[in-house]
Chains A and B, each alone.
Chain A
Amino acid sequence: KQEVTQIPAALSVPEGENLVLNCSFTDSAIYNLQWFRQDPGKGLTSLLLIQSSQREQTSGRLNASLDKSSGRSTLYIAASQPGDSATYLCAVAGGTSYGKLTFGQGTILTVHP
């Protein structure tokens, strides 16, 4: 059974810092990995999707990497801003269940001015 772990559970940084969020998964047989952002009481917004054959994806100040063999992904946020404050969720699409995403618990990020 796939398990996804995110570290740290919470992170508080001053504005302008570069930061790294970590995600690990137990079964390396994945189709892709997605990073989402969730604001309090809201739905999820997809940030980046990395296919299993890719090593990284970039969108603006966000960069996500994938090391499938070691079961790890990182989300790098450059020059953080207060508007980046949210919960960041990592999810993997596995090889045995059709369309099933397995989510981590999330990292709660607070960027203070």
Chain B
Amino acid sequence: ETGVTQTPRHLVMGMTNKKSLKCEQHLGHNAMYWYKQSAKKPLELMFVYSLEERVENNSVPSRFSPECPNSSHLFLHLHTLQPEDSALYLCASSPGALDRQYFGPGTRLTVL
């Protein structure tokens, strides 16, 4: 599947760095999502955007800041992260919020 792309694929950052994850979908979908996948834990939803408006914030710490400038692009801005934030961050999109979700390949984040 190349409908949803994510960059970078791998990221190593220190606790004081600021970085951003990017997601782009080429499917004409209206909803986009950020998920976190940690070792030994189920996939966790972080944020949902529908038509560029945030409709769900699943109790995510403020050191994670999402941005959806248009329906095709989604960013996750990171600052002052903790080592426990190391995980695979997955982006997904769907035509509508209750439709089948299509996932990107993920960004493997390591926080030192």
List residues of chain B with CB within 8 A of the CB of A99. Answer: 31, 33, 48, 50, 55-56, 94, 97-98
Within 8 A of B (CB), among A34-88: 34, 36, 41-46, 49
Q: Which of A42, A49, A97 contacts B100 (CB 8 A)?
A: A49
Query: Secondary structure of the A side of the interface?
Result: strand
List residues of chain A with CB within 8 A of the CB of B33. Answer: 99
| Residue B62 is within 8 A (CB to CB) of chain A in the complex | no
List residues of chain A with CB within 8 A of the CB of B92. Answer: 44
Query: Secondary structure of the B side of the interface?
Result: strand
**With A45-B1, A45-B103, A46-B102 as given contacts, are A98 and B97 in contact (CB-CB < 8 Å)?**
yes
* Contact of B45 with A104 in the complex, beta carbons under 8 Å: no
List residues of chain B with CB within 8 A of the CB of A42. Answer: 105-106
* Contact of B55 with A98 in the complex, beta carbons under 8 Å: yes
| Residue A111 is within 8 A (CB to CB) of chain B in the complex | no
Give the Cβ gap from B31 to chain A, nearest Cβ, in Å: 6
List residues of chain B with CB within 8 A of the CB of A49. Answer: 100
| Tally of contact residues, A, Cβ under 8 A | 25
Instruction: Determine which residue in B4, B50, B56, B98 has the highest number of CB atoms from chain A within 10 A of its CB, and name it.
Output: B98
List residues of chain A with CB within 8 A of the CB of B43. Answer: 44, 89, 91, 101, 103
* Contact of A44 with B90 in the complex, beta carbons under 8 Å: yes
List residues of chain B with CB within 8 A of the CB of A91. Answer: 43
* Contact of B100 with A46 in the complex, beta carbons under 8 Å: yes
**With A4-B42, A99-B33, A105-B42 as given contacts, are A31 and B105 in contact (CB-CB < 8 Å)?**
no
* Contact of A101 with B101 in the complex, beta carbons under 8 Å: yes
List residues of chain A with CB within 8 A of the CB of B55. Answer: 98-99
Q: Which of A4, A43, A102, A106 contacts B103 (CB 8 A)?
A: A43
Give the Cβ gap from A16 to chain B, nearest Cβ, in Å: 28
Interface flags, B1-32, vs A, CB<8A=1, else 0: 10010100000000000000000000000010
List residues of chain B with CB within 8 A of the CB of A34. Answer: 100-101
| Residue A108 is within 8 A (CB to CB) of chain B in the complex | no
* Contact of B100 with A41 in the complex, beta carbons under 8 Å: no
List residues of chain A with CB within 8 A of the CB of B45. Answer: 100-102
